[in-house]
A and B are shown apart, each in its own frame.
Chain A
Amino acid sequence: ILNVEQSPQSLHVQEGDSTNFTCSFPSSNFYALHWYRWETAKSPEALFVMTLNGDEKKKGRISATLNTKEGYSYLYIKGSQPEDSATYLCALRTGNQFYFGTGTSLTVIP
């Protein structure tokens, strides 16, 4: 069992604010780091997959970075909108298993 930790557990921001959250993971046995977005009453959906140290990925206002040497990834949301409200999960892939963090619940207040 690998311990993947996310912080903060929850976050409330005003519309237009930028925000970021952290995913920490053991750097040994690293294969890939995934970010998923999970809206209420839906299923998690893949946002990013990162495999190389220093990787940066971007999708619209959301971006992510990866540091495999120190075992962390950041997810950034620029100019948060109410539709960004969701739980953001990170998952460490080792081989064919995926270990999830407990998620960061983001609420964007209009």
Chain B
Amino acid sequence: DAGITQSPRHKVTETGTPVTLRCHQTENHRYMYWYRQDPGHGLRLIHYSYGVKDTDKGEVSDGYSVSRSKTEDFLLTLESATSSQTSVYFCAISEWGAGANVLTFGAGSRLTVL
């Protein structure tokens, strides 16, 4: 069990406010990912990390930043939230399963930007 915890699980905020979502894992996995899930788009990669202070952009990174100062925590920040960032955000780690490295997901964080 990867022990992935996302917080907050639900958040409602107003346009223009900063928002930080936290992903915490308990098993020292190197790779961590942030995805957003929207109807008709499936899961889209925002940013990922391959170690402390090592991050890279995904396909929908505009408007988002990330930080990883400790192996166990991967933070996703919306500097100035917009309504288009209303979504469900999933954190994932890459771990061994089904005979290969697979993604294991957190429970998701539902963000509503009014």
Report if A47-B98 is in contact (Cβ < 8 Å); known contacts: A34-B103, A91-B103. Answer: yes
Q: Verify B42–A101 contact, CB threshold 8 A.
A: yes
| CB within 8 Å for A46 and B41 given contacts A34-B103, A91-B103, A98-B33 | no
Query: Please, how many angstroms separate the alpha-carbon atoms of A43 and B103 in the complex?
Result: 11
Which A residue sits closest to B58, measured CB to CB?
Answer: A97
With contacts A96-B94, A100-B43 taken as known, whether A43 is within 8 angstroms of B33 at the C-beta atoms is no
What sequence of 0s and 1s flags, for each residue 78-109 of chain A, a beta carbon within 8 Å of any chain B beta carbon?
00000000000101000011111111000000
Contact with A along B39-55 (1 / 0, CB 8 A): 01111110010100000
A96 & B45 in contact (Cβ 8 Å cutoff): no
Partner of B45, one of A36, A45, A97, A103: A97
Number of A-B pairs, beta carbon distance below 8 Å:
53
Which single residue of chain B is at the shortest CB-CB distance from A87? B42
What is the 8 Å Cβ interface bit string for chain A, positions 51-65, against chain B (1 contact, 0 not)? 100000000000000
Question: Per a CB cutoff under 8 Å, which of A45, A51, A89 touches B43?
Answer: A89
Would you call B34 an interface residue if the criterion is a C-beta within 8 Å of the partner chain's C-beta atoms? Answer: no
Q: A77 contacts the other chain (Cβ, under 8 Å)?
A: no
Contact A46 B94 (CB under 8 A): no
Residues 80 to 113 of chain B near chain A (Cβ within 8 Å)? 90, 94, 97-108
Q: Given the complex, which residues of B lie within 8 Å of A44, measured CB to CB?
A: 43, 90, 103, 105
Interface status of A48 (Cβ within 8 A of chain B)? yes
> A1 with B40: in contact, given A34-B103, A96-B31 (CB under 8 Å)?
no
Contacts of A49 in B (CB 8 A): 98-102
Given contacts A96-B31, A97-B58, A100-B42, contact A46 B104 (CB under 8 A): yes
Q: Chain A interface (Cβ within 8 Å of chain B)?
A: 1, 32, 34, 36, 43-49, 51, 89, 91, 96-103
Chain B interface residues (CB < 8 Å from chain A): 31, 33, 35, 40-45, 48, 50, 58-59, 90, 94, 97-108
